[in-house]
Amino acid sequence: MKEIRVRFAPSPTGGLHIGGLRTALFNYLFAKSQKGKFILRIEDTDQARYVDGAEEYIVNALKWIGLEPDESPSIGGEFGPYRQSERKPMYRQYIDILLENGNAYYAFDTPEELDVMRERIKADGISNPQYDSLTRGQMKNSLTLSKEEVTELLDKKTPYVVRAKIPPKAEIRFKDAVRDWIKVHGSVLDDKVLMKSDGMPTYHLANVVDDYLMKISHVIRGEEWLPSTPLHVLLYQFFGWEEQMPQFAHLPLILKPDGNGKLSKRAADKAGFPIFPLNWTNEEGLIKGFKEEGYLPEALTNFLVLLGWNPGSNKEMFSLEELEEVFTLERINKAGTKFDIDKAKWFNQQYIKDYPEDSLAAIVLEDLKNLHQISFDESIALKIVRLLKERVTFPEEFARNSRYLFDDPDTFDEKVSRKKWNNDAKVAMSIFIDTIEKESFETSDEVRNLYSESLNKENINPGKYMQILRLCVTGDGSGPDLMEILQILGSQKTIARIKNSINLLNT
């Protein structure tokens, strides 16, 4: 059986888009589901767009979400190097094979001559001018020049590119794992550049050669690469590698929340959610990532896998290990899928509920210290986590939503105080104070019983003044379990707060 080998091959031209992260995830899950290998290959042939720090960012993003490659530039492997710029010398021999076989040609056209050609074609009413079988005969290339002229231009080191020679009558057919059979006629394809004037291969040549040499079994990539696939199929044919050609699978687009077009950074900014997994800094400044916005990697993974894949059941919650067992290419959707940030938040809520409490407590300790200069021991942090974890979406909300545990209220929910604060409420609070001054409590159940018993003894309905008790202790009219709050505060702080609030409310 052929070994399953897939690659995630990003270009280090900026921060890793969330769509790229999903592509990496799908590649990883397919490899693991088939007991295969997941390879990280850096496609840095476009040196003009190379951005310092982008490769490190990609590696860190994959590591954060839990996708560890089996082979990569840092790990190595028997099919390295894993940066295309380090593989540059090997590409020339494959260009020469194409030139010798008549499947590629030198093109010496200047940028100005290319512009003239495009304008001429546009003038003929063709809106999409391209360098193809119809126009190549009118341009300056090794198909229109004599062998001596070509040799002279090469000897003079005249700038040139190498273009694929697309057979205009060819019918290119290939089977996509997501979209089934696809057929394209050669007459609609242009003669893509395979090697640039700087001697670097383009994506088209380099990825085909590298996939062949690295024995890639499946190419799983975004839908935007589908128009390039016929050329890649032709290159496999030109080299005589049809038997080794990988299975293609093109993933559906991630759409804007309204479904109108592909999700972009601008659309994400407008909607107010991240587009990168981690913080990324560019010429526009700092762009916050999902990690820094408080999303857990497990939640983001679960959310991303359902953007274009379905498990065939109503189950929504999957660990990475579970996904490694159930993921299949056959369940990838053809149609684009909307990016629903509210669903991402929902997943984050669910994972926080089940997240290790000591990990969340560590976040609470750090946030309260850094944001509010409040320090205390881990036992209090654990109590805060247990109090609030059913009510928060992001870890940072523990610190923000627990300030009332450390600060006595000096303002009160106006609607509740206006409606419910009166002399009877004051009497009820005074009775409760008298009780817990005499009888301390250790648990939430104990304080709940003390509150109910003290008011019932005076023929006062405890439920009628529960919201007033919350108002006196926190200043708010609603919130998490009140008795848990009192248990965290303890009897002395509870007494002091209620007394102080009675004075403030009376004024």
Q: Is the peptide bond before 81 cis (omega within 30 degrees of 0)?
A: yes
> What pLDDT, on the 0 to 100 scale, is given for residue 374?
80
265 a catalytic residue: yes
> What pLDDT, on the 0 to 100 scale, is given for residue 325?
96
Amino acid at residue number 395: P
> What pLDDT, on the 0 to 100 scale, is given for residue 46?
83
CB 209 within 8 A of CB 91: yes
Contact partners, residue 62, CB within 8 Å, separation at least 6: 8, 21, 24, 40, 68, 69
CATH fold for the domain made of 408-507: Arc Repressor Mutant, subunit A (1.10.10)
CATH fold for the domain made of 89-195: Glutamyl-tRNA Synthetase; domain 3 (3.90.800)
> What pLDDT, on the 0 to 100 scale, is given for residue 377?
82
3-state secondary structure 75-86: CECCCCCCEHHH
pTM over 0.85: yes
**CA–CA dist 166, 182 (Å, integer):** 18
Q: Where do the domains of the chain lie?
A: 5-77+208-253, 89-195, 265-354, 355-402, 408-507
> What pLDDT, on the 0 to 100 scale, is given for residue 91?
96
pLDDT by residue for the chain (507 residues), tens only, comes to: 689 999 999 999 999 999 999 999 999 999 999 999 999 999 998 888 899 999 999 999 999 999 999 999 999 999 999 999 999 999 999 999 999 999 999 999 999 999 999 999 999 888 889 999 999 999 999 999 999 999 999 999 999 999 999 999 999 999 999 999 999 999 999 999 999 999 999 999 999 999 999 999 999 999 999 999 999 999 999 999 999 999 999 999 999 999 999 999 889 988 899 999 999 998 888 999 999 999 999 999 999 999 999 999 999 999 999 999 999 999 999 999 999 999 999 999 999 999 999 999 999 999 888 877 888 788 889 999 999 999 999 999 999 899 889 999 999 999 999 999 999 999 999 999 999 999 989 999 999 999 999 999 999 999 999 999 999 999 999 999 999 999 999 999 999 999 999 999 998
* pLDDT tens-digit readout, 83-117: 999 999 999 999 999 999 999 999 999 999 999 99
**What is the strand order of the sheet 218-222 is part of?**
37-40, 5-8, 218-222, 247-251, 171-176, 180-185
**CA–CA dist 91, 131 (Å, integer):** 23
Q: Is the dihedral of CA 285, 290, 291, 293 positive or negative?
A: positive
Query: Looking at domain 265-354, which of 1.10.1160.10, 2.60.120.40, 1.10.30.50, 3.20.20.70 is its CATH number?
Result: 1.10.1160.10
**DSSP letters for 325-370:** HH--GGGB-SS-EE--HHHHHHHHHHHHHHS-HHHHHHHHHHHHHH
Q: 5-77+208-253, superfamily in CATH?
A: HUPs (3.40.50.620)
CA proximity to 493, closest of 476, 471, 468, 474: 474
CATH class for the region spanning 355-402: mainly alpha
> What is the Cβ-side half-sphere exposure of residue 155, based on CA atoms within 13 angstroms?
6
Q: Where are the beta strands (DSSP E) in 56-196?
A: 104-107, 161-164, 171-176, 180-185, 193-195
Instruction: Please pick, among 265, 291, 383, 389, the residue that the annotation labels catalytic.
Output: 265
Contact partners, residue 439, CB within 8 Å, separation at least 6: 450
